[in-house]
Amino acid sequence: MSPTQGTATPDRSARAARLTRAQRTALLKALADPKRFELLERIAKSSCPLGCTNAREALAIAPATLSHHIKELQTSGLIDVRREGKFHFLSIKPGVLDALAASLQSLSPTSCPGR
């Protein structure tokens, strides 16, 4: 294995994971609502795509409210919605949370050169 083989993939994914300011703002706005954040947690903890019926029962909210929260999460780019007939299944979009975490981590202050 050459020295560059082990590092090529992380560099490529780091470049692909960059968020624009608008994307970052949309993600943070979507996560600011406690119910949406709870919904995202439910989706993330589910071992397979989460059905809307299960999500609604877990959150104890009206169908219209769930629909609104799903639309906000989907529009922000956090989740994918797969439709099968009249059923909808929710899953986290791959890489989006990692990109957001990296974006927030970049705000961490670096050490001063004199320290």
What are the residue ranges spanned by the domains of the chain? 19-100
Segment 43-54 mean pLDDT: 92
pLDDT at 2 over 50: no
pLDDT band at residue 1 using 50, 70 and 90 as cut-offs: very low
* 21-30 confidence digits (pLDDT tens): 999 999 999 9
pLDDT in the model for residue 37:
96
The answer to whether residues 110 and 28 touch, using CB atoms and an 8 Å cutoff, is no
Helix locations, the chain, DSSP H: 5-16, 21-32, 34-45, 52-59, 63-76, 96-105
Q: Which CATH class is domain 19-100?
A: mainly alpha
Q: If you compute the radius of gyration of the chain from its CA atoms, what whole number of angstroms results? A: 18
Q: Name the maximum alpha-carbon separation found in the chain.
A: 63
pLDDT at 84 over 80: yes
* pTM exceeds cut of 0.85: no
Segment 89-111 mean pLDDT: 89
Q: Please report how many Cα atoms fall inside a 13 Å half-sphere around the Cα of residue 108, on the Cβ side.
A: 8
pLDDT in the model for residue 106:
86
